[in-house]
Amino acid sequence: MNATTTPQVIPTVKDALGTVSTEVAGVVRQLVKGADPALDAAAASLGQAERVFVLGAGRSGLALRMTAMRLMHLGLDVHVVGEVTCPAIRAGDVLLVASGSGTTGVIVRAAETAAAVGAEIVAFSTDPESPLGRLAHITVVIPAAAKQDNRGQVSAQYSGGLFEQAVLLVGDAIFHTLWRASGASAGELRPRHANLE
């Protein structure tokens, strides 16, 4: 190292937790401040669906699977796309998808299929003008970096991490809204929780 080189400061896990929590709080503030009607529209669509189909790739898909579980706890008929027991989608159903870029091939193709049969599409994305955003009936715009944005201008986190965290939080907020609207107690939801564990 020469005299003009600044040594790299390696953050601690505590530092990283601060970064993550600050970024997530910023996204939540933007969503709340914007009072985006798509949030409540997404909740209403899911709550009124005959069946809900959930699809996301990678970590976005994992976050949506958690939402699928909570919607099942509410008593909704929920299916995770790609599972062998997933039936065909049809009119009256809702496809809930997440793609930061809105260009993920498998997600866009699924949305095209859903649109062709008359199902409604609810999308979480950073880009409402993407192919997925244009197909969706309701797009919840998550103000976070997409996976391809590696410049660190929107988020210091790696490869879409902030988007995936926000997908989980928005999914939980939608569940919480539907749960409270249902009037059901936690005890009434509990019997639907998995017991083959």
Structure tokens at 109: 């193709």
Q: Give the right CATH number for 36-183 from 3.90.1150.10, 3.40.190.10, 3.40.50.10490, 3.40.50.261.
A: 3.40.50.10490
Residue among 160, 129, 189, 153 at smallest CA distance from 56: 160
The pLDDT value recorded for residue 188 is 95
Per-residue pLDDT tens digits for 6-20: 667 788 999 999 999
d(CA 166, CA 154): 13
Neighbours of 36 (CB within 10 A): 17
Please tell me which residue in 129, 164, 188, 197 is annotated as part of the active site: 164
Q: Where are the domains of the chain?
A: 36-183
The pLDDT value recorded for residue 6 is 67
The pLDDT value recorded for residue 47 is 96
Per-residue pLDDT tens digits for 171-194: 999 999 999 999 999 999 999 999
Amino acid at 147: K
Annotated active-site residue 164? The verdict is yes
pTM value? 0.90
The pLDDT value recorded for residue 197 is 76
Residue listed under structure tokens 């009119």:
91
- Per-residue pLDDT band for 2 (boundaries 50, 70, 90) equals low
DSSP H or E segment with residue 124: strand 120-125
